[in-house]
Structure formats: structure tokens, C-alpha cells
Amino acid sequence: MITTNSEVKAKFLRGFSDKTRLQILESLRESEKTVSQIVETLKGNQSNISQHLACLKGCGIIIGRQEGKYIYYSLRNEEIKQLLDLMQSVFVNVELEVAACEKNDELDCCQSNKEDVANESGGR
């Protein structure tokens, strides 16, 4: 009888399901940063980063505090950091396991890149 609203929970977790957002979170792991620091670190587009930050904030994963013209973003709390750590370690193990046990050496979620894979058959 766990059953929280799966829809809202999915929205929360969607915050972690993007490459750029994961990079942002990783860069915030050590310390809070301003938007421009993040943009510089990731060598990303300002607008793009800003949107991802809004996403992460909306998901409750990070918080922002204003200081003059800067806005410092940081992970919401210690728990989020723990979650990131566990995600990381579980991921690494799964990756190894998948690579070891199956011919498939790349995680392939959902009905994505079918033709892509077919086309670049000579890859890597």
C-alpha cells in the first residue's frame, strides 16, 4: 500500500531524465552556482540552461536564492544528493551487468533510435 500519485512522482523523476539536467545536477553537487557559472561549466546555451534550471526547480530538485543580480542554485537538500549518489551507483552496476551479460552494450530505452542503430552499423 505504497501508492503515491504516480503521475506527480513521474514528473518529479522526469527532472533527472535528461543529459543536460544531469550535468547541471552534477555541477551543483559540490557547491551552489550561479546560472552563468553553470553555463560556463557546461559550455551550454544560456536560454537552454535557464529552462532546465526552471524545470529542476519546478520538480523540487533544486532551489535558488537571489543575491544582487546573481541567482545561486543548489540541490534542495541532502536527500537529493543521496538520491543522486544512489542513482549513480545503481546505474554503473546495471551498465556493467548489461554490458557483461548481453550482446547489447548500450542501454536502449523505449522505442528510440531504431533506424539510427541500423544505419550506423559500422560505428564506434
Partner DNA sequence: AATATATATTAGCAAACACTAATGTGATCT
Partner DNA sequence: AGATCACATTAGTGTTTGCTAATATATATT
- What is the contact surface with DNA in residues (CB under 7 A)? 14, 17-20, 34-37, 39, 44-48, 50-55, 64, 66, 68-71, 109-113, 116
Taking the complex as a whole, the smallest distance from the CB of residue 35 to DNA amounts, in Å, to 3
Give the three cell numbers for residue 89: 551507483
Contacts to its own copies by CB under 8 A? 2-4, 6-23, 26, 29, 51, 54-55, 58-61, 76-77, 79-80, 82-83, 86-95, 97-98, 106-112
CB 61 within 8 A of CB 101: no
Give the three cell numbers for residue 103: 550482446
Judged by CB, which is closer to DNA: 72, or 83?
Answer: 72
Residues with Cβ < 8 Å from 85, sequence gap 6 or more? Answer: none
Question: Which element (helix H / strand E) includes 38?
Answer: helix 35-42
Adjacent-strand bridge partners of 66: 71
Judged by CB, which is closer to its own copies: 12, or 72?
Answer: 12
